[in-house]
Structure 1
Amino acid sequence: MDALYIITAGSLVAITCGLLGCFLILRKMAMVGDAISHAVLPGIVLAFLISGSRDSVVMLLGAGVIGILTTVLIEFFHKKGNLQADASIGVTFTWLFALGVILISVFANEVDLDQDCVLHGEIAYVPLDLWITDSGVILGPRVLYVSGFVFLVIIGFIVLGYKELYLTTFDPAFATAIGVSTVLWHYLLMAAVSLTTVASFESVGAILVVALLIAPPATAYMLTNSFPKMLVVTALLGVIVSAAGYYLAVLLDGSIAGAMSTVAGLLFLIAFLFSPSEGIVSIAIRRKLAKPNA
């Protein structure tokens, strides 16, 4: 049962992150998730200092606010400061993360609150973090409810806003011409990424969240030229990564999150080499076969 809980939690997070990652990759903003996962540290610390509580909901609210602020600052530096997108991402998340470290060292030095415990979750603990009612009824792992809720919210967001997200991703000029606000949908997408990242990294870890935001969509991108198919393939890859990563970790007696990230990377490598349309090995074989015999 513990294996099922861990694989289910990993799959929910992988699908949610992967679907949003498809839009980020096509918008050339793949590292926004990494920026958010580190930049939210001061929000977590400030939430603790204001409330005096280490309750997960309070910290997630603080992290969520800073997550949205991070996306606003990235866009501001990119548009107003004429910085390249990658430079604005790097500047924003490094100084916000540094601010969080300073706040911890100055105001929370004697409290069990450090950058490791607030940034790096452990998916192996999913079966232990149970939701128990006041009457003592055990409803199962709390992470499954949080991940399931975020999963439904993101699915609803993509379904209801698919046309607008599609247009603003592939042809923003046309979207603007027909009255679709590219700025509004950009920030809605960034808010969705913030929600997903913040809700996920506490349970599965920041590194795994970043891996799931990038690797499955990048792999799907190598396998198909159809965006709807890319979304479906990404979701399937998320489930495969979660299941295969768990059993690889069991086999090696190693980190589950590390194994899942490794599987995600291996699947991308296979697609990079052998994708029918984009794989470098496949392309080399086609070129060789296309050469006329001497």
Structure 2
Amino acid sequence: MSYSGWIILTASLVGLSCGFIGVLLILRRMAMMADAISHTVLLGIVTAFLITRELSGIHMLIGSVVAGLVTAVLVQWFHGRGVQQEASIGIVFTTMFALGVVLIATGVGNAHLDVKHALMGEITFIPWETVELPGVGALPEAVVMLSAVLAVVAAVIVLFFKEWKLTSFDPALAASLGLPVMAMHYVFMSLVSVTTVASFDAVGAIMVVAMLVTPASAAYLWTNRLSVMMVLSGAFGVISAVAGYYLAVWLDTSISGSMAFATGLLFLASFLLSPRHGVISRLLRPKTDAEFVSASGGGQ
């Protein structure tokens, strides 16, 4: 595969994984948790490095997942004690991210860990960082990891699809039926953490947040069916990855930034053109009698 092909494939895998997970984030009204976890995993990465003094390995993934779970637990703990959820997310997110930045500045020495890399990623280096697989040969390490994460995310969503639907739309009913709502919540947070850290090194926090929130928000405007919403969200993530890459080549600018920008353009198109919620579609759709009466002030 060509150099460009590996970059587009990597970003597309991020778009698929984040697109599937993002739908559940949107339905659970936890979109800001994507921003929080995508930043607080930095603390997990730095802590894992300080313990092992190695920049690669399973310990990085473990540290990031633990940081993501700690974020979820702290947010839930503060919220359960009367702090508004948005405020809880803001407090935990900024504190843990700031601690990660401080540790980078004071504890990692000459290691290749920096805030700019964490925010923007280094997707242009993806094709050169390879791993040998038996019977396959050398493949980019990020492609292998993201493929594995996508397989896990898809499998968990498919296996527990009914449970995810019920706990997302009506957690009170799910609890009354005996479903382990809190356990499902922390499993979901684990999936968010794993997806985030797998994408983190390649594309950076900004694109992870964009891919987790924006394609799912766009898909939400097109359909009410969860399965269709997930397919659309994943497709929108891939489209954003491809369009963003060629936009970056055309403008000679940041690839990750352009891909994140492409998600915004796609959401804008959905906001204007989606059949049920689109602004233009509403203007073109004939008004019903009820809408006409409402618009005319109740007929008075």
Please, what TM-score do these two structures have when normalized by structure 1?
A: 0.92
3-state DSSP of counterpart to 2:131: strand
Moved more, 145-154 or 66-75: 66-75
1:287 to partner: Cα distance: 5.6
- Is the 1:45–1:100 contact (alpha carbons within 8 Å) kept by the matching residues of 2? yes
Give the whole-Å Cα distance in 2 for the aligned partners of 1:109 and 1:191.
30
> 2:30 is paired with a residue of what secondary structure?
coil
1:289, distance to aligned residue in structure 2 (A): 9.0
Aligned AA (1:69)? V
What letter is aligned with 1:99? L
For 1:69, the equivalent position in structure 2 comes to 70
Residue 59 of structure 1, CA deviation? 2.6
User: Which residue of 1 is the match for residue 297 of structure 2?
Assistant: none
Aligned-residue RMSD, C-alpha: 2.0
Distance 2:29 2:219 in 1: 15
Superimposed CA distance per residue, residues 198-239 of structure 1 (whole angstroms, 9 cap, x where no aligned partner): 111111111111100011100000111221111111121122
Distance 1:23 1:73 in 2: 20
**Which string of whole-angstrom CA distances, capped at 9 and with x for unpartnered residues, describes residues 117-152 of structure 1?**
34542222211211147x9x9512111100000000
Give 1:6's aligned residue.
Answer: 7
Name the counterpart of 1:93: 93
**Aligned-partner Cα distance in 2 for 1:110–1:246:** 31
1:30 partner letter: A
The answer for the alignment partner of 1:148 in structure 2 is: 147
Name the CA distance, whole Å, in 2 between partners of 1:114 and 1:259.
21
**Cα offset for 1:112?**
4.1
Per-residue CA distance 1:233-268 (angstroms, 9 max, x = gap): 112112211111111111222211111111110010
Give the match for residue 219 of structure 1.
218
What's 2:282 paired with?
Answer: 283
1:128 corresponds in structure 2 to 128
The match for 1:258 is 257
Q: Give the match's secondary structure for 2:221.
A: helix
In structure 2, what residue type is equivalent to 1:126? I
Decide whether the 8 Å contact of 2:120 with 2:256 is kept in 1: no
Residue deviations 1:93-120, cap 9 Å, x none?
1001111122233323554433233454
- 1:43 lines up with 2:48 in the alignment: no
Once residues 242 and 107 of structure 1 are traced to their aligned partners in structure 2, the CA distance between those partners, rounded to angstroms, is 35
CA contact (8 A) 2:121 2:256 kept: no
1:198 alignment partner in structure 2? 197
1:270 aligns with 2:273: no
**Distance in 2 between residues matched to 1:28 and 1:118, nearest whole Å:** 26
SS of alignment partner, residue 31 of structure 1: helix
Amino acid at match of 1:223: W
Equivalent residues of 1:22, 1:230 under 8 A apart: yes
Instruction: Identify which range, 102-111 or 233-242, moves more after superposition.
Output: 102-111
Contact 2:71 2:93 in 1 (8 A): yes
Offset of residue 15 of structure 1? 0.8
Residue by residue over 1:44-64, the C-alpha shift from the partner in whole angstroms, topping out at 9 and shown as x without a partner, is: 222122112222533332222
Q: What's the CA shift for 1:276?
A: 1.3
Q: Secondary structure at the match of 1:276?
A: coil
Segment of structure 1 superposing worse, 271-280 or 116-125: 116-125
CA apart distance, 1:90: 0.6
Q: Which amino acid aligns with 2:18?
A: C
**In 1, distance between residues paired with 2:243 and 2:111?**
37
Aligned to 1:25: 26
Hey, what's the Cα distance between the residues in 1 that align with 2:247 and 2:108? Answer: 38
Q: Identical aligned pairs, as a percentage?
A: 46
Amino acid in the other structure paired with 1:210: V
The 5-angstrom pairing of residues 170-185 of structure 1 reads: 170-185=169-184
Distance (Å, rounded) in 1 between the aligned partners of 2:65 and 2:171 = 27
Indicate conservation of the 8 Å contact 1:119/1:202, yes or no: no
> What amino acid is aligned across from residue 115 of structure 2 in structure 1?
Q
Per-residue deviation, 1:285: 2.7
Q: Secondary structure at the match of 2:139?
A: strand
TM-score, normalised to structure 2, is: 0.90
Q: Which residue of 1 aligns with 2:296?
A: none
Q: Deviations over 1:67-107 (max 9, x none)?
A: 1111111111111x222221111110100111112223332
Query: Contact 2:7–2:123 at 8 Å: present in 1 too?
Result: yes
> Aligned partners of 2:196 and 2:125: how far apart in 1?
18
Tell me the CA shift for residue 180 of structure 1: 0.6
Q: Distance in 2 between matches of 1:271 and 1:119?
A: 27
Residues in 1 aligned to 2:268 and 2:113: alpha-carbon distance in whole angstroms: 37
Is there any run of 5+ residues in structure 2 with no aligned partner, and where? 294-300
Give the Cα separation in 2 of the matches to 1:207 and 1:199: 14
Task: Read off the aligned partner of 2:280 and give its amino acid letter.
Answer: V
AA matched with 1:46 = T
Paired with 1:269 and 1:118, the residues of 2 have a C-alpha distance of 27
